[in-house]
Copies of this chain bind each other. A is one copy, B any other.
Amino acid sequence: MHVVTVGTIALDSVKTPEAARHDQLGGSASYAALSASYFSPVHIVSIVGKDFPQEYLDFFRSRGIGTESIEVVEGGTFRWSGEYFDDMNTRETLSVAVNVLEQFKPRLERDARQAQMVLLANCSPDNQLEALAQVTAPSFVVADSMDLWINIARERLSQVLERTDLFVINDIEARMFMETKNTITAGHRLLELGPRHVVVKKGEHGALLFGQAGAFFSAAAYPLHEVRDPTGAGDSFAGGIAGYLAGLGKPQFAFEDLARAAVYGTVMASFNCESFSTDRLQALSRDEIETRFTDFQRYSRF
């Protein structure tokens, strides 16, 4: 099963207590696609400016990621700059230059339209809905979002949720969105908005998967001694989920498939955090992924 992912491609500048890097490959679609590409063929739907390095597009293709639906237009690529502090759990956005992203209208080429696994990575609900509408026969839809869209596009986000099989969101945003202090309550309330499954990401504390009829799964995070750059961890998580499920190639997924997918997602997110930008996601082997998955099984057995 092919994955089509719509989202942002960015040039990120990131500062941590240890180091700083400028204009690195970033954006929700980049992380999500790279992560998914270890499990199945992927197509990216996004937009970049003429300043976007050709080497990154070549690199996507070298990983079997279709770039035909990435529009290249006059203007600057979307840029984000942020700084992480101290414990790497708090970050501050230093600057955002929307640039060409402002004119983004997803246009899916043939292969992208025919993908059955749809990953609506973090971008505006409008873009998510437009992309989804162009997929001929989606069999499973994973959607990610963030506080910005909850605040400024809540209604359109609700429309995304109605068409979503698995909605992914972080714990702070889930509680804010559902107006509760309790993460478990937030997960259950999100289910009532339409998605058949909800995953609440908790960063270093793992993730919670909520399903129909009280189905529930709690995944720990992989124990990391050092977090170098958590940018993109949530996107890698969503990408790992969509990619793994697509790789199964089933017409329907059991709750247990989704639980395993969530574990693959946390495994991919853990690799993501080990180095700056997409560095670690560029140089992985399927063996390394399976080893970490097996570790994970051992770490949660009792």
Contact = CB atoms under 8 A, between A and B. Distances in A.
A11 to B, nearest CB: 28
Contact of A259 (B205, B256, B302): B302
Contact of A302 (B204, B256, B302): B256
A215 to B, nearest CB: 9
Interface residues of A, number: 36
B184 A223 contact: yes
B87 A218 contact: no
A281 interface: no
Contact of A218 (B88, B208, B223, B260): B223
Nearest to A17: B181
Nearest to A257: B302
Contacts of A219: 220, 302
Nearest to A298: B216
13 contacts: A86-B181, A87-B181, A182-B224, A182-B225, A183-B204, A185-B225, A185-B226, A206-B218, A216-B299, A218-B300, A259-B301, A262-B302, A300-B302
Given A87-B181, A184-B225, 19 more contacts: A88-B181, A182-B224, A182-B225, A182-B226, A182-B227, A202-B205, A206-B220, A208-B223, A216-B298, A217-B300, A217-B301, A217-B302, A218-B221, A218-B223, A219-B220, A219-B302, A220-B220, A259-B302, A297-B302
